[in-house]
Amino acid sequence: MTDEAIQRPGGRTARVRTAVLAATLQELGERGYAGMSLEGVAQRAGVHKTTVYRRWATKANLLLDAIATLAESEIPVPDTGDFVEDMRAFARTIAATITGQDGGAVVRGLFLGATESAAVRDFLHGFWATRFAQVRPLVQRAVERGELPADTDADEVIKHLGAPLYYRLLVTADGITLADADRAADAAVAAARAGVFARHPPSRPKR
Amino acid sequence: MTDEAIQRPGGRTARVRTAVLAATLQELGERGYAGMSLEGVAQRAGVHKTTVYRRWATKANLLLDAIATLAESEIPVPDTGDFVEDMRAFARTIAATITGQDGGAVVRGLFLGATESAAVRDFLHGFWATRFAQVRPLVQRAVERGELPADTDADEVIKHLGAPLYYRLLVTADGITLADADRAADAAVAAARAGVFARHPPSRPKR
């Protein structure tokens, strides 16, 4: 709970709501959704736990209200007159949001379970290194056949192939169809051909 | 625990290990990492909980051992002689794995928290629909300027822009640099230009 939240006008009910939702984001960021409790949120917000139970009843309601409050804020959508510039600026906005204070707490709280643990994170790095090494020849053969630029970073090709599928599963909670898998593959192919995954990429993707 | 696991040769220790790791994957899939317990795994595996505590001590160790066992299995890496075909086949393998029985349990257990809840999942669908609607004009303007095919599906462009960033955060547990953000943007741009996100995409990405 910040001083700003306490002093915001709107009466006691609005102040309590602001304090509880701010505390929810902080608890999410520190403990994750699974580790978060209504009691912990109440304590951090400096309100009685029955207040939180009466108004929100469940952790899920608390989470949804906190996200909805964040979602009310408009995000800056670039309009530079150039698609590459717009896309790059927007990608940087996403990156800053999902690694930042409030949005980052929500993302971590929603999606992180075991990746909160340093031991599991280290293990994952090893696991993925092994996986990428297994798949790397698929890309290297395409380079040898002259289908891709010689300095293509195979691991980046593989990551960009898998990312849209995990994204559907974990982030947007959508299903995955064969058409989705094909689209993910085709997108990585087009980007690889355009030199995006070159170790020294062109300053803009080749047309 | 499957009958196959019970009957596998290798003595009692190996049988217990196989049963416990199979039970771990099942518990992960049903309860997620946060909801999983050593007691629950022991009960499901039909072994005494002190056996599990003595050998693995923590949930994290149990999880790592279960993943390591899965990781020992080689994944089929396509080699059709054609990059588009190879990439599509591999994307389908990933899709099948992360939505399937064992690999799916690990992915869900590792990464899912609140998306296990139908209420939160429904909310997420609404949340993302709002976000995509906010960003859609960025893509539509590029279509109007003639930078992209007329029937480009703006939401797919936006999803493929964000996916590699969430993937680094949630799946590979890597950091996100500005170069990573730019690469994600450039990859989505190249794929969009190649017509991959057209509502009626070409049968292969345009060169």
Domain ranges of chain B: 3-72, 117-193
The SS3 of residue B152 is: strand
**What is A83-193's CATH topology?**
Tetracycline Repressor; domain 2 (1.10.357)
The SS3 of residue B146 is: coil
CA B18 to chain centre: 24
Q: Torsions phi, psi of A202, nearest 5?
A: -65, 155
Cα gap A156→B97, rounded to integer Å: 20
At residue B168, the pLDDT reads: 86
Q: Is B83 in CB contact (< 8 Å) with chain A?
A: yes
Cα gap A189→A30, rounded to integer Å: 39
Is residue B41 very low, low, confident or very high in pLDDT (cuts 50, 70, 90)? very high
Q: Is B117 in CB contact (< 8 Å) with chain A?
A: yes
Cα gap B144→A35, rounded to integer Å: 47
Helix (H) or strand (E) holding B144: helix B118-144
Q: Closest partner residue to B189 among A84, A161, A182, by Cβ?
A: A84
pLDDT score of B5 more than 60: no
Contact B137 A186 (CB under 8 A): no
**What is B117-193's CATH topology?**
Tetracycline Repressor; domain 2 (1.10.357)
At residue A1, the pLDDT reads: 37
CATH number of A3-72: 1.10.10.60
Using CA coordinates, name the residue in chain B closest to A177. Answer: B95
The CA distance from B84 to the nearest CA of chain A, in Å, is 6
At residue B122, the pLDDT reads: 76
> pLDDT tens per residue, chain A (207 residues)?
344 444 445 688 889 999 999 998 888 877 777 778 999 999 999 999 999 999 999 887 888 788 777 766 667 778 888 778 888 888 887 777 777 777 777 766 666 555 556 766 777 787 788 778 888 888 998 999 898 999 999 999 999 999 998 888 778 878 788 889 889 999 999 999 999 999 987 777 777
Model confidence pLDDT, tens digit, residues B120-179: 677 778 778 877 888 888 899 899 989 899 999 999 999 999 999 888 877 887 878 888
DSSP state of B204: S
Strand partners, B198: B152
Contact B137 A77 (CB under 8 A): yes
Q: Stretch B95-104: mean pLDDT, rounded?
A: 74
Q: Is A2 in CB contact (< 8 Å) with chain B?
A: no
At residue B115, the pLDDT reads: 57
At residue B83, the pLDDT reads: 79
Strand partners, A152: A198
From chain B, the residues in CB contact with A95 under 8 A are: 165, 176, 178, 180-181
At residue B151, the pLDDT reads: 94
